[in-house]
Chain A
């Protein structure tokens, strides 16, 4: 089964702060994704990537940047964090077919 890890697992920051969420997958999947999960909205796609150096805009990209530095590593950047970005963030990876595999999640609180 795909192994996807995320760090940190929990993060508290203040409004206007900079936050970087990290994701690493070790199964040589080409596709990686960042989601946020909020009560009442379910899971929503922020950004995704087809491979190193590639970035695609998801459904809720405002306030987020992403970088895919290698096939294994995908980062989500919040440069001016706001309380509305308090959420549970998931990273996932997949091959072209076969389903997505999710990391354990990062709980972010913006005060």
Chain B
């Protein structure tokens, strides 16, 4: 089965609402990385978060290794947050390689 599963596959919110994106993994990780993919295709690294909680503006990433999950929280969403969010796991057994989830497509309505 898939080693990295993201949920939900898609999410539609009104501007101002909070978004919670989940990433569950079935293998031991060395690190977890979250990316934002713009509608045009380019990838932006949001967080490199092997464990614990990290903040960047309205974004918060939390990785709980024991529970094999990582989450991305977006507070007070804006229309410019629309796009696809990808999590990627660097497995312990194959460091340097990333295994990507299928992504969550986020749409923020004005």
Q: Give me the interface of A with B, judged by CB distance under 8 Å.
A: 1, 31, 33, 37, 42-45, 48, 50, 58, 88, 90, 94, 96-102, 104-105, 107
By the criterion of a CB under 8 Å from any partner CB, how many residues of chain B are at the interface?
18
Complex: A47 Cα to B54 Cα, angstroms:
31
Interface centre among A42, A44, A45 (most CB of B within 10 A): A42
Q: Give me the interface of B with A, judged by CB distance under 8 Å.
A: 31, 33, 35, 41-45, 48, 86, 88, 96-98, 100-103
Interface centre among A31, A44, A45, A100 (most CB of B within 10 A): A100
Q: Is the CB of A31 within 8 A of B43?
A: no
Residues of A within 8 A of B101 (CB): 42
**Are A48 and B45 CB-contacts (below 8 A) given A99-B33, A100-B33?**
no
Given contacts A42-B100, A100-B45, 5 further A-B contacts (CB under 8 A): A1-B45, A37-B41, A45-B97, A58-B97, A99-B45
Looking at the assembled complex, report how far the CB atom of B92 sits from the nearest CB atom of chain A, in whole angstroms.
13
**Are A48 and B42 CB-contacts (below 8 A) given A42-B102, A43-B86, A99-B33?**
no
Q: Is the CB of B31 within 8 A of A97?
A: yes
